Structure 1
Amino acid sequence: MKLLITGANGLLATNTIKYFLELGHEVKGLLRSKEKFVLPPHPKLELVQGDITEPSAVENAVKDCDAVIHIAALTSPDLPNYDSYYKVNVAGSENLVKAAIKFKLKKFIYVSSANTMGFGSSENPGTETTPLKPPFTESLYAKSKLEAQQKLFSYADKIAIVTVNPTFMLGPYDGKPSSGEIILMGYRKKFIFYPPGGKNFVDVRDAARGISAALKKGKNREIYLLAGQNLSYKEFFQKLVKKRTGAKSVMIKVPKPLLLIAGYAGDFLRKLNVKTSASSANMKILCVKNYYSAKKAEEELDVHFHPIGDAIEDAIAWFQKNGKL
């Protein structure tokens, strides 16, 4: 099978490309800059430079493939308005599905986000049927991913659409880095400041295997959470510190009121069209424990998820090898 994988420079796409190449598939990776691609050349890998917001570039990428795995997305937390997210995450996704239908592809795997559904507690984690709730209803990124998800499902009578929704991914080949920033934030620090909330962390290689399983077994119009281990931020940083042999860090909890003050200050700056990752929505998200369950994916796709320790360790090793730690 020949697969088009979008967003090829990203953490998840890079690991997904590597996994499918190991399975013997042909892969076409769509990306905006070939120079930033971190994997070595492979005889079954073709890199295509293009932008999903340009229909002609999308059609050129799609035309000789069997299926699309759409991972590319605008994830920056610092954009002040919704239009930028809509252009890439919604309109760009629609460009891809229209091209896939035009060239009669077999399946379209859309990589959404766990933040498009409601979170839960450690005792009762969120699932695919949990309704979205605050503070994620205020997140422009989450709103755009949910709108894209709904838009794509409107085409499900013309092509099989399966959505996978990973939680917070960690692991090797994080070239930017993206989510691996959380490791760089705490690894060398004597003082680690952590927010009061928590989240679900998933090994990016488990997420890649989940995508492969969705391609084989995923049902049309279905959504599958790809979730690993639920941890508070304090628990996560404690795990990170343990990976530093002989090192000690002082853990300091940042009070919720202080985070909210920073968030509201960020809201004011955004009204002035200033880019900042601080916003009341983003700060509120840091204060809740948004936990999820992968039970549906485990049962229906036969995919399994590991504790996050190995992903932390392998991400550290990759960062060290590439001069980022």
Structure 2
Amino acid sequence: MLAIIGGSGFIGTVLAKKLKEENINFKILDKNKSQEFPDEWEYCDVTKIETLISALKNIDTIINLAAEHKDNVSPISLYYDVNVVGAENVCKAAKINSIENIIFTSSVAVYGFVEKETGEDGEYHPFNHYGKSKLEAEHVYDAWFSSHSDNKLVTIRPTVVFGENNRGNVYNLFRQIASGRFLMIGSGNNKKSMAYVENISAFIHYVSGLSVGKYVFNYVDKPDFTMNELTSVITNALGKKEKNIRVPYFIGLFGGYCFDLLSKVTGRQFPVSSVRIRKFCAKTQFKSNFIDESDFSAPVSLSEGIARTVRNEFLK
């Protein structure tokens, strides 16, 4: 049986639907009750090892999707409590329950800002606590893998994941473009790697069948679109015309710093910050050196995934 830790969330729910369709037994371990699969849900908190030990009995494979990942998490220690201590607890509970298969979703954030298309052999330069904590978690899982010759570890580093019914940063970006009042900061020629939720879920299911060993994959749906191309894909899917307002990068970044200051003064969190402006304008291109060599095929094209998402969200 599979255990999906963090399975009540966005990716976990889509993955659980796929497993259900294929009659694969699983249970969801999460602090929050699964709305889609309440009968398969069991309470679990990765920061509390006793909940993991009991919940992982009679489990063959762990899929760990649990993470603290938002840009503005406070206190900062939560990144390390959930992502690093959580990894340590998962590995301890796996040893206690003699579980030899772990699939861990890390992030391309371990590479930080990249100047060129980056594969799994890229250098590690995480720029925020999310990326730093994910890299530390990878080291924890690597140590677990080395502790026993029969262990299997698959580390997946997805780029930004989007899809229907998600309310993260990509949804906010799509919503702004769909509104016809989109503020394009910079030239819009920077390319962005993305991953559609159905595809990453299919890939997680695919790697569960790999043989014993250690694997590391970036997950990206190709081709990469520039921000200008992404705008066109979204507006075309909605049958609208592009109405972008363009602002030079230095003005946009200055505005981000102003919101940072305002956030410190008021104690409020705002949707605009200097970090988000930098991430928006950065070139974030990734590739996998290994997936293309496998027989995995993404079930949905990137453009179709984007079209499905925006039609579902903005043509109601």
Instruction: Tell me if both proteins adopt one fold, taking TM over 0.5 as the criterion.
Output: yes
Tell me, what secondary structure is at the counterpart of 1:126? coil
Aligned length: 307
Distance verdict in 2 for CA 1:21–1:65, change over 3 Å? same
Matching residue's letter, 1:262: G
TM-score (norm 2): 0.86
Deviation at 1:164, TM superposition (A): 0.5
Deviation at 1:221, TM superposition (A): 3.4
Tell me, what secondary structure is at the counterpart of 2:50? helix
Equivalent-residue separation in structure 2 for 1:83 and 1:110 (angstroms): 21
Deviation at 1:274, TM superposition (A): 5.3
Tell me, what secondary structure is at the counterpart of 1:200? strand
Q: What is the aligned partner in structure 2 of residue 164 from structure 1?
A: 156
Structure 1 residue 256 corresponds to structure 2 residue 231: no
Instruction: Find 2:210's aligned residue among 217, 220, 229.
Output: 217
Q: What is the aligned partner in structure 2 of residue 144 from structure 1?
A: 133
Tell me, what secondary structure is at the counterpart of 2:7? coil
**Aligned ranges 1:1-325 → 2 under 5 Å:** 2-34=1-33, 37=35, 39=36, 46-79=40-73, 81-117=75-111, 125-133=117-125, 137-158=126-147, 159-174=151-166, 176=167, 179-187=170-178, 189-196=179-186, 197-217=190-210, 220-229=213-222, 230-245=224-239, 247-268=240-261, 275-276=269-270, 278-299=272-293, 301-305=294-298, 306-319=300-313
Deviation at 1:183, TM superposition (A): 2.3
Equivalent-residue separation in structure 1 for 2:107 and 2:211 (angstroms): 17
* Identity, % of aligned positions: 23
Unaligned ranges ≥5, structure 2:
none
Alpha-carbon displacement from aligned partner over 1:262-311 (angstroms, at most 9, x marks no partner): 34335545666654555444332222111011241221x42234531221
Matching residue's letter, 2:28: G
Distance verdict in 2 for CA 1:218–1:86, change over 3 Å? farther
Deviation at 1:132, TM superposition (A): 2.9
Deviation at 1:167, TM superposition (A): 1.0
Conserved 8 A contact 1:15-1:173:
no
TM-score (norm 1): 0.84
Unaligned ranges ≥5, structure 1:
none
Conserved 8 A contact 1:7-1:71:
yes
Equivalent-residue separation in structure 2 for 1:218 and 1:319 (angstroms): 39
Tell me, what secondary structure is at the counterpart of 1:191? coil
Conserved 8 A contact 2:233-2:307:
no
Deviation at 1:192, TM superposition (A): 1.3
Q: Which has the higher contact order (CA 8 A, sep 6+)?
A: 1
Matching residue's letter, 1:107: N
Moved more, 302-311 or 84-93: 302-311
Distance verdict in 2 for CA 1:218–1:261, change over 3 Å? farther
